[in-house]
């Protein structure tokens, strides 16, 4: 089993080749390839490489599949004793990535 833990958009994500993940919006067209250089941990067969803070000379190639919107949330704010209410909705823009290869 090959996997890596990368830092993308300020979050740490466990990724495996051949699987897709939804992360915060990355500008780019569907079909474009991007690379992640901040690999924190890499596991291949029987060896584990831990970076300090990143593993050198390891990159992960991913393809942008599509841009989607996340689940709708409702933001409701009130101020007590003022009869003030505010209701808003929000949907986060996300990018769906397919992890192609892990290069070493």
pLDDT tens for the chain, 104 residues: list them: 899 999 998 899 999 999 999 999 999 999 999 999 999 999 998 999 999 999 998 999 999 999 999 999 999 999 999 999 999 999 999 999 999 999 88
pLDDT in the model for residue 22: 96
Contacts within 8 Å (CB) and 24+ apart, 47-55: 54/7
Distant-in-sequence, close-in-space partners of 64: CB < 8 Å, separation ≥ 6: 26, 28, 29, 30, 31, 32, 33, 34, 95, 96, 97
pTM as predicted:
0.82
| CA–CA distance, 65 with 62 (Å, rounded to integer) | 9
Distant-in-sequence, close-in-space partners of 47: CB < 8 Å, separation ≥ 6: none
CB contact burial 25-40 (16+ within 10 A = b; e otherwise)? ebeeeeeeebebebbb
Please state, as a whole number, how many other Cβ atoms lie within 10 Å of the Cβ of residue 5: 17
């Amino acid at each position: 089993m090959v996997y890596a833990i990368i830092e993308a958009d300020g979050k740490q994500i466990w990724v495996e080749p051949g699987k897709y993940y939804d992360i915060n919006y990355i500008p780019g067209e569907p079909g474009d390839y991007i690379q992640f250089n901040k690999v924190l941990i890499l596991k291949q067969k029987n060896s584990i490489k831990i970076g300090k803070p990143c593993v050198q000379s390891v990159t992960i190639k991913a393809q942008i599949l599509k841009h989607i919107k996340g689940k709708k949330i409702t933001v409701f704010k009130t101020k007590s004793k003022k009869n003030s209410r505010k209701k808003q909705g929000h949907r986060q823009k996300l990018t769906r990535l397919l992890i192609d290869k892990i290069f070493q």
